[in-house]
Structure 1
């Protein structure tokens, strides 16, 4: 059984409009600090934590809007579905649940938490319902949430108390003896083996490789032994390894419970092989345990992250386990799939959280692979307040300096990210960013006379994508205004043929430039006439020429440079003779073995801050102004 959906209304940062949150086996909530990631976890804990204090409602749990008005009612509804094949499996005592059948024939189960806040008396009333009507009837909860907070010392979690995780584990190790409960040694040995195997997946430090466990006075005693001589206790290892151990312990518990389910099929085999007595209290263990792991980057180093997530993903693939993670770290994003991501942001006008799935192309399309790879390579997208989309590495180097020197700030301090897209699948990235409410701007190559479409294909593609966004209601563009330039109105049918428009004169080049400038209104900028490399070479020519070593330099003539730059030696009619001469150096600096980023870094480091700002191309100045305008519209971005 799995949690498939949560509906949240008026709980903490979630407002009066119900927010629907969908879940995978492993789901990761990403977003800036204080966006509402932990609130999703807390909603689950209020219903399913085994710790009574964590389930209590208080005044601060009720939503406070932008006008400081406190709501008087909150609702959280959790939807669970029995997975295919489970309903007939003896391992799962679903008779404990009041299951119903949905329209698809699947068994489902809902739990609804309703809170009422009586403002006059400050009294809070909490009610739990099953399937909308029945009062929650379970003493031993069939669904339990195991919360792993961002603590730095988990030793407190390793003591056996009524509500602790170890109390659940302790049930496997005990049986009634003549003088009361006794520890079953075969069971303890099996537990040690499970924990030891899990521990060795993470730790390569020989000091802590061999682990010993024992229960003394209802407390777990953990020691590590090296060569039979030096012994370390758990409190002597680093905070990160302590946290890793706690995660291993929880994983071991769920593995243990999974093994215990085999009792329903073959109690003899379980007793003989595993060393456990039959689990007499079969009604006691949860049918589903939801692990809530908060900001694992606070627990462990990045190189541990892959193993932890791989371990948790395997656990979440079982019917008795599910994993929910919160993070604002790029090290986590690179280890999960895009479909496992939920982005959380704040609507600052209304003071409420927004949760969105990541919209992706169909998995069969090449665009899916590109976008998925982009998100994993540039995970900072999800933690940005503004994104600049560009062609490649050249744009990142130049725009980083542009933003820093024109605005006396850094990309990091402004929460601005740069993402190269190579001109491909720009529409998918636009849709994704718009859907998760992150503003952006785009800088592309104009590629005049380059290739078969001579630059018109670039304009056509962007117009088509803007129209598509408008039709899908992703943007409120006025199609008539979009297709009107210098009072000349064009039809969509005209745009369909735009890539066939001619580029044979200076007038044609001017028309192309007008369209490029027109699209700046829609946050799309073009490096003209070719790309940013050619533009910077033309602007700061002396800085680049200084990179030519004595006796070195280009050996090409104009004809071969034209062919290399424009893909045909017959082109170049819209370029001046000076521009054609520059193509010789463009080919030398940017089309050979020398790396573009290295060339720009070496050249621009000789340009003073004053000259860089003074002579910067106009299109980049306009781009910077638009970035500032958008950032300044967000009161929570420091500029």
Structure 2
């Protein structure tokens, strides 16, 4: 038996119906105050074993925009769907006989399921809290519209078979260790079936302890006598005439309240209590305590099956415990988090438990399968302010890009918590773009911008993911002019993927004809865009298409990639990093036919033989730069072709990030600004526009 779906309507930050699907382990992610804790508390309203957690209050009702707290009658509901894997096997499960008469069968013939729904209404009756009426029902229909005859009251004794164990972000395990009412330990200790011999032996030991402390020659008996003497002066009621100081009561319950946990050995040679531990260790111990309780309950269930007439514990464990754990990363080192997540996954696979976590930490997210993530955000516009829940969109598992994208979004989990994502091709973008954002006054951390480097051929899946999550994004692609698939091929690719992601054709491929009438390119014509030719570097047609795509937040590093772009704008600064012994070399034959070499920076521009060697070197660099299946290089200027020698030296023969890091450390911000590539300024300006829209509620 497992929780598979929940529907929340008008509960706290949730407005209109939101569905949340659950797996054995589910992780709710999103920014602060996006509704993650609300999901856990909504489950507690139905299934918490603490009565105070189940009370619906006025503040639990969602308040739509434009309404004041005291206006109108309001209604909410929280609905849960449970499915039963036990139905597919032959293994006996207590869940089926317990809930069988309340099973619902859908019209499509799928397996029966259990539908439990909390409904609550609020009316203003003049009191502070108002009048609140709450009921929990079994629903015997699979329809969205529920009739009164489909509702059957769910008794609390049935609901107690399902337990939500809420572990808050602030964890105090010492409270759960005591035998106070409602603590984890008290439920187990109070259900022990003590034998008469055990009870008598414990009482005898307590009496023996009291007699030892209160012996006639002891100091405590002297204190007790003085208390008795004073008490007689103040009070004469025979019912309470004797005031006796004792170390403990002979009652079992009173004795068990003294249970405490000690940790040893310690550096001070004095045992530590739970409260003496640091925040991180207390958190880890809390999880350990929850884990041990579940294990004990499994043993209790097994014992009751083997010894139904004389079980060791009176406790009947819940059929399903849902661990609702808030921010498990708090105070805990990353390597411990890895162990916790692994254990949570094991617990979620157990028959009697399921795990729901909340987090806004990339450390957690990168350790979770994307299929187990649920993304929460606040939709904030002129009409609504409410939580929206989305699943993570991945390519089909059979697609060759599935593993790549799954790995990529696990490697860069920051994108889920960003207000804006900037997608780039690789490591160079990840290093350079934050610097230029900071330089232009938009510091990425304070603006909650994530730069995510991903291969250009996979960017379509990231667009799909980010669009589904409603996270604004900007993309910087390599134009790769005259490289295989580059140039017009890049334009075509971006257009086709934008269309697949919901952009209307009319906005992308409307062109003017000779008669000055506009028309939309058909699919065959779009497919032929990749075969268009770039005749000159200043091709106006090409510039027009690039500007059009910039309207859709798609930018290009032209004419090749960001590394070539940086070299174009900062050539002298990259050269200044080299020592006298570094730099590309030109090979040539002297007048005697001997092979000679000269550094490119020392080239004699009037020496014909050296210039012949330069031409051969340019051709070699062009082939290396444009790679296999490349074009002839005719669309590049002479200066760009010569620059390819330096491109080959810096970025094909050395590490790109290392080269850029050295460059950034050697140049001032003023010099960076003075030679700024225009595409960087365009991207930062667009980012400011998008972030401005978010701030004004136009996500």
2:125 paired with 1:99? no
2:557 paired with 1:527? yes
What is the TM-score normalised by the length of structure 1? 0.87
Match of 2:648 among 580, 587, 590: 587
Q: CA deviation at 1:4?
A: 0.6
Instruction: Provide the rounded CA distance (Å) in 2 between the counterparts of 1:220 and 1:391.
Output: 60
Match of 1:150 among 169, 182, 185: 169
> Structure 2 matches for 1:624-635, cutoff 5 A?
624-635=684-695
Give the CA RMSD over aligned residues: 2.6
Instruction: Provide the rounded CA distance (Å) in 1 between the counterparts of 2:94 and 2:46.
Output: 21
Q: CA deviation at 1:482?
A: 0.5
2:85 paired with 1:83? yes
2:433 corresponding residue in structure 1 = 399
More deviation, 136-145/420-429: 136-145
Deviations 1:493-519, CA, capped at 9 Å, x for gaps: 11112223334x217954334322221
Instruction: Provide the rounded CA distance (Å) in 1 between the counterparts of 2:388 and 2:650.
Output: 47
Instruction: Provide the rounded CA distance (Å) in 2 between the counterparts of 1:306 and 1:636.
Output: 38
More deviation, 441-450/489-498: 489-498
Deviations 1:63-97, CA, capped at 9 Å, x for gaps: 01221345611100111111144775434153332
> Structure 2 matches for 1:74-473, cutoff 5 A?
74-85=76-87, 89-92=91-94, 94-97=96-99, 98-103=101-106, 104-121=109-126, 122-131=130-139, 132-139=150-157, 141-170=160-189, 173-177=192-196, 217-218=256-257, 220-226=259-265, 230-263=270-303, 266-267=306-307, 278=311, 281=314, 284-349=316-381, 350-407=384-441, 409-451=442-484, 453-470=485-502
Number of aligned residue pairs: 588
More deviation, 164-173/227-236: 227-236
Deviations 1:223-255, CA, capped at 9 Å, x for gaps: 122299653222222121112111111111111
- Report if aligned partners of 1:66, 1:351 keep a CA contact under 8 Å in 2: yes
Instruction: Provide the rounded CA distance (Å) in 2 between the counterparts of 1:399 and 1:485.
Output: 33
Long gaps (5+) in structure 1:
184-214, 272-276, 471-476
Instruction: Provide the rounded CA distance (Å) in 2 between the counterparts of 1:358 and 1:496.
Output: 30
- Report if aligned partners of 2:179, 2:256 keep a CA contact under 8 Å in 1: no
User: Per the alignment, in what secondary structure is the counterpart of residue 634 of structure 1?
Assistant: helix
1:600 corresponding residue in structure 2 = 660
2:589 corresponding residue in structure 1 = none
What is the TM-score normalised by the length of structure 2? 0.80
User: Per the alignment, in what secondary structure is the counterpart of residue 619 of structure 2?
Assistant: helix
Instruction: Provide the rounded CA distance (Å) in 2 between the counterparts of 1:402 and 1:126.
Output: 56
Instruction: Provide the rounded CA distance (Å) in 2 between the counterparts of 1:105 and 1:498.
Output: 48
2:18 paired with 1:19? yes
Instruction: Provide the rounded CA distance (Å) in 1 between the counterparts of 2:540 and 2:507.
Output: 20
Q: CA deviation at 1:322?
A: 0.4
Instruction: Provide the rounded CA distance (Å) in 1 between the counterparts of 2:338 and 2:695.
Output: 36
Deviations 1:410-464, CA, capped at 9 Å, x for gaps: 211000001011212111111111111110010000000112x342221111111
Deviations 1:241-284, CA, capped at 9 Å, x for gaps: 1121111111111112223333465449xx9xxxxx625647x3
Match of 2:506 among 460, 475, 480: 480
Deviations 1:145-200, CA, capped at 9 Å, x for gaps: 101111153312322233222233325644353686999xxxxxxxxxxxxxxxxx
1:274 corresponding residue in structure 2 = none
- Report if aligned partners of 1:19, 1:354 keep a CA contact under 8 Å in 2: yes
More deviation, 108-117/338-347: 108-117
Over 3 Å counting, the alpha-carbon distance change for 1:620 and 1:168 in structure 2 is same
Deviations 1:269-317, CA, capped at 9 Å, x for gaps: xx9xxxxx625647x3210000010011114222211111111111110
Deviations 1:311-335, CA, capped at 9 Å, x for gaps: 1111110121000000000110111
Instruction: Provide the rounded CA distance (Å) in 1 between the counterparts of 2:12 and 2:394.
Output: 30
- Report if aligned partners of 2:193, 2:314 keep a CA contact under 8 Å in 1: no
Over 3 Å counting, the alpha-carbon distance change for 1:310 and 1:288 in structure 2 is same
- Report if aligned partners of 1:485, 1:515 keep a CA contact under 8 Å in 2: no
Q: CA deviation at 1:118?
A: 0.9
Over 3 Å counting, the alpha-carbon distance change for 1:171 and 1:460 in structure 2 is farther
Over 3 Å counting, the alpha-carbon distance change for 1:161 and 1:102 in structure 2 is farther
- Report if aligned partners of 1:175, 1:182 keep a CA contact under 8 Å in 2: no
2:238 corresponding residue in structure 1 = none
2:55 paired with 1:36? no
Instruction: Provide the rounded CA distance (Å) in 2 between the counterparts of 1:485 and 1:329.
Output: 46
- Report if aligned partners of 1:21, 1:355 keep a CA contact under 8 Å in 2: yes
User: Per the alignment, in what secondary structure is the counterpart of residue 271 of structure 2?
Assistant: strand
2:567 corresponding residue in structure 1 = 537
Over 3 Å counting, the alpha-carbon distance change for 1:532 and 1:217 in structure 2 is same
Q: CA deviation at 1:606?
A: 3.0
> Structure 2 matches for 1:52-63, cutoff 5 A?
52-63=51-62
- Report if aligned partners of 1:2, 1:81 keep a CA contact under 8 Å in 2: yes
Long gaps (5+) in structure 2:
140-149, 203-253, 587-616
2:526 corresponding residue in structure 1 = 495
Structure number with greater Rg is: 2
Over 3 Å counting, the alpha-carbon distance change for 1:507 and 1:620 in structure 2 is closer
Instruction: Provide the rounded CA distance (Å) in 1 between the counterparts of 2:124 and 2:152.
Output: 27
Instruction: Provide the rounded CA distance (Å) in 2 between the counterparts of 1:398 and 1:303.
Output: 30
Over 3 Å counting, the alpha-carbon distance change for 1:181 and 1:566 in structure 2 is farther
Instruction: Provide the rounded CA distance (Å) in 1 between the counterparts of 2:672 and 2:298.
Output: 64
Instruction: Provide the rounded CA distance (Å) in 2 between the counterparts of 1:101 and 1:58.
Output: 30
- Report if aligned partners of 1:456, 1:501 keep a CA contact under 8 Å in 2: yes
Instruction: Provide the rounded CA distance (Å) in 2 between the counterparts of 1:303 and 1:410.
Output: 30
User: Per the alignment, in what secondary structure is the counterpart of residue 604 of structure 1?
Assistant: helix
Instruction: Provide the rounded CA distance (Å) in 2 between the counterparts of 1:105 and 1:157.
Output: 41
Q: CA deviation at 1:366?
A: 2.3
- Report if aligned partners of 1:27, 1:340 keep a CA contact under 8 Å in 2: yes
Over 3 Å counting, the alpha-carbon distance change for 1:171 and 1:110 in structure 2 is farther
More deviation, 423-432/26-35: 423-432
